[in-house]
Chains A and B, each alone.
Chain A
Amino acid sequence: MSGILTRNCVATVIIQQLFNGLALGMAYALIAVGYSLVFGILRLINFSHGAVYAFSAHIALLFVGLNFGIIPAIILSIVLTGILGVLIDKTALEPLRMNNSIPMASLITTIGMSNIIQNLLMIFFNTERKSFPAFFDFGMIKFGSVQVNSTQVVMFVVSLILLVFLTLIINKTKLGLAMRATEQNSKAASLMGINTNFVISATFFLGGASAAIAGVLISGYYQIVYPGMGFMVGLKAFAAAVLGGIGVLYGSVVGGLVVGVSESYAATFMGSSYRDSVAFIILILVLIIRPTGLFGKKDIKKV
């Protein structure tokens, strides 16, 4: 397929695809962080996260449609999606925790929640693909023969800032301290006077909000929104989270970037039909070679 391309072209394509992959990878990282945050505290993989991401994009689209302006629409979407995250925990997961149910019950519950959210989106917004405004497109930026899409630069930078911000919250604030304490031992933390239920809610809020930012960024990049959009992206972000070591924030970033870039290269050199499988091939390899992921902690027992 690349036989038609000249050598110079190939170099350009390789660099260009790197940018395509990095931008996408950062957005995956933002979603992966949501998996990581929740996993860190509850030892639970929250499979409703992909649907939460789709929800955020639809909410942003709704408010853009109501002429709120793009920035207020995004802020509303972030807040509402964060609240949705909290609601998922309060309505579906907290009762299970109170009853000391087996972990598998919570896991299946999150899958159920994912279907509920996705179907509600189908009912209220229809199944068709809808156009999303390209609100951060400032044309192309040229570096010699390499052109970089400003959209991709914005995606990368915004995601990076947010990830740094999240890391600061966790490492430098009181809430972050409480989160880390709950992560290590929730019973001990609650004995020390930490309101663990509040901490868990805050974690779900942060996870939802970061998914919302990723949702808005990716929708602005592809300019397409539909209820099923979160499924594949959610699974890929999950692969990214596992790759980096689930529960470790910077691991999610590295995992996201690896998945994004390898996906981009797979699409170039192996054909577009392989792009979706690459993330999962990586996931399987990681699970075989290094089950805890690249930066994962060894002592995870509860899963």
Chain B
Amino acid sequence: MKRKLSIILTLAMVMGTFAGCAGKTSGTSSQSGGKASGTIKIAVAGPMTGDNAEYGKGFVNAANMMVEQWNAKDGVLGKKIEVVPYDDKNSGEEAASIAQKIVSDKDIIGVIGHFASGVSMAAAPTYQENKVIEISPSASHPDYSGMGTYIFRNNTVINVEAAAGLDMAINDLGKKNIGIISIKTDWGTSTSAIVKKLVTEKASTGVKVVAHEEVMEGSDDYSPAITKLNAAGADVVICVGMYNLVAPVSKQYKQVNPNIAVVGFSNAYSQQLLDLGGKAVEGLRFPVIFFSGSENPKVKTYVDEYKKRFGSTPSALTSQAYDSVGILLEAIKTAGTTDRAKVRDAVAAIKYDGVTGNTVFNEKRDVQKSFVKVTVKDGKFVEIK
């Protein structure tokens, strides 16, 4: 019995590893084999299946949209541009092997991706070593862009964003007892540490972190963490995670304490948040760089076009991916060559006016952008003026 059961358990574990493999690869790629000389390829790497598939698919959609605009004007350097999507399933191991595949294709000038910081950082050394430009539209871990001279970030570093989120919790909402729920990933742990540090700096104003709970991403049941936060007297919860953390935490917390205020991060900004969170995410606040409800005509045209083609509003990260592709193409055009070293220099020196504002990379290959404060009102995202 004992031995049989151990065999059974082993089998069950093996089954678990297979369960993740299934699913369908999607994304509308404009590919057709691709001849070695005629095209310039841009890889888009991100999660196309699984929990964060929405983000990866958004990257591909955005890249296709931008590339089609360029191709309509005869591409770049007289060559057609091709988007090659890669599914990294948001896993570091998968990303490392995809990076190997990407660098072995000499036509690929640069990579837009990966999605999560930890995953991007797993792939970055391969890109750096092979001099392939990586622009992540989403990585926000402070150490990411420091991994090499070919590693760029078109997303705000988390310190700046954490300060903006905290500002909303403390100054806009007037809360002092801060509870933190963070996902136990590289990004989640470092971000919550940054939030804590920022709160300590403001300790003189009476603001304090009353409790901090780390949870496993996608564990569904957050009631043990919520019980602790609630008992510690938190009046605002800072949710360090994606929509799949923010929505269930809001729901489950509001069952216990309907008055709790929730502050998220820009990666919660997604249609899925509203679908999954429903009424519970009403009043949720978070800072974003890109707000699709903006009145700016350039943003409006882009959002309308995206909606028309893909039936959903582009998220901030999707829009940063859109601009990232633009940056890479513009740099190729400026450099006048597909030599990656020259293109890299052009990216580093670029001043790009896109839908997510003016993009200029600093000496750390990071960007500085201003934040828009967003809240959920009547089931919609609304800008707080």
Interface residues of A (CB under 8 A from B): 1-2, 4-5, 9, 12-13, 16-17, 20, 24, 45, 47, 107-108, 111, 114-115, 118-119, 122-123, 127-131, 134, 137, 140, 147, 149, 151, 221-224, 228-229, 231, 235, 238, 242, 264, 267-268, 271-273, 275-276, 283, 287-288, 291-292, 300, 303
Contact = CB atoms under 8 A, between A and B. Distances in A.
A13 B227 contact: yes
B22 A4 contact: no
Interface stretch (B36-44, B190-198, B251-259): B251-259
Given A268-B227, A272-B214, A275-B219, A130 B276 contact: yes
3 interchain residue pairs of minimum CB distance? A267-B224, A272-B215, A119-B22
B72 interface: no
Contacts of A273: 184, 214, 216
Interface in B245-265: 247-248, 251-252, 255-256
Interface in B226-254: 227-228, 231-232, 244, 247-248, 251-252
A291 B2 contact: yes
Contacts of B244: 129
Contacts of A12: 231
A134 B228 CA distance: 22
B16 interface: yes
B308 interface: no
A276 B219 contact: yes
A264 B224 contact: yes
Given A140-B256, A224-B220, A272 B225 contact: yes
Contacts of A287: 2, 5-6
A5 B248 contact: no
B27 interface: no
Interface in B1-25: 1-2, 4-6, 8-9, 11-12, 15-16, 18-20, 22-24
Contacts, number: 134
Nearest to B3: A303
Contact of B1 (A17, A127, A130, A300): A300
A201 to B, nearest CB: 24
Contacts of B8: 45, 47, 107
A257 B227 CA distance: 19
A272 B23 CA distance: 28
Nearest to B7: A104
Given A118-B19, A235-B12, 12 more contacts: A1-B212, A47-B11, A129-B244, A223-B252, A224-B276, A231-B16, A268-B224, A268-B227, A272-B184, A273-B214, A292-B1, A303-B1
Contacts of A24: 221
Nearest to B4: A303
B210 interface: yes
B211 interface: yes
B252 to A, nearest CB: 7
Contacts of A128: 51, 53-54, 272
Most A CB atoms within 10 A — which of B23, B221, B248, B278? B221
B49 interface: yes
Interface in B267-300: 272, 275-278
Nearest to B183: A272
Contacts of B216: 272-273, 275-276
Given A118-B22, A131-B276, A222 B11 contact: no
Contacts of B215: 272
A287 B53 CA distance: 40
A242 B223 contact: no
Interface in B308-343: none
B232 A229 contact: no
Given A9-B232, A291-B2, A127 B224 contact: no
A156 B221 CA distance: 16
A283 B22 CA distance: 29
Contact of B11 (A13, A111, A275): A111
A151 B278 CA distance: 18
Contacts of B184: 272-273
A127 B219 contact: no
Nearest to B52: A128
B50 interface: yes
B302 to A, nearest CB: 25
Contacts of A288: 2
Contact of B278 (A107, A131, A140, A303): A131
A115 B210 contact: no
A2 B232 CA distance: 9
B383 interface: no
B213 interface: yes
A40 B247 CA distance: 41
Contact of B220 (A16, A119, A222, A283): A222
A46 to B, nearest CB: 11
A14 to B, nearest CB: 10
B10 to A, nearest CB: 11
A124 to B, nearest CB: 11
A128 B53 CA distance: 8
15 contacts: A2-B228, A17-B227, A20-B223, A24-B221, A45-B8, A115-B22, A118-B19, A122-B22, A127-B49, A128-B54, A134-B255, A151-B255, A264-B224, A272-B215, A272-B216
A108 B53 contact: no
Contact of A272 (B49, B53, B224, B276): B224
A18 to B, nearest CB: 10
A276 B23 CA distance: 25
B1 to A, nearest CB: 5
Nearest to B212: A1
Contact of A5 (B6, B218, B228): B228
A235 B8 CA distance: 11
B262 to A, nearest CB: 15
Contact of A123 (B24, B223, B256): B24
B220 A229 contact: yes
A35 to B, nearest CB: 11
Contacts of A17: 224, 227
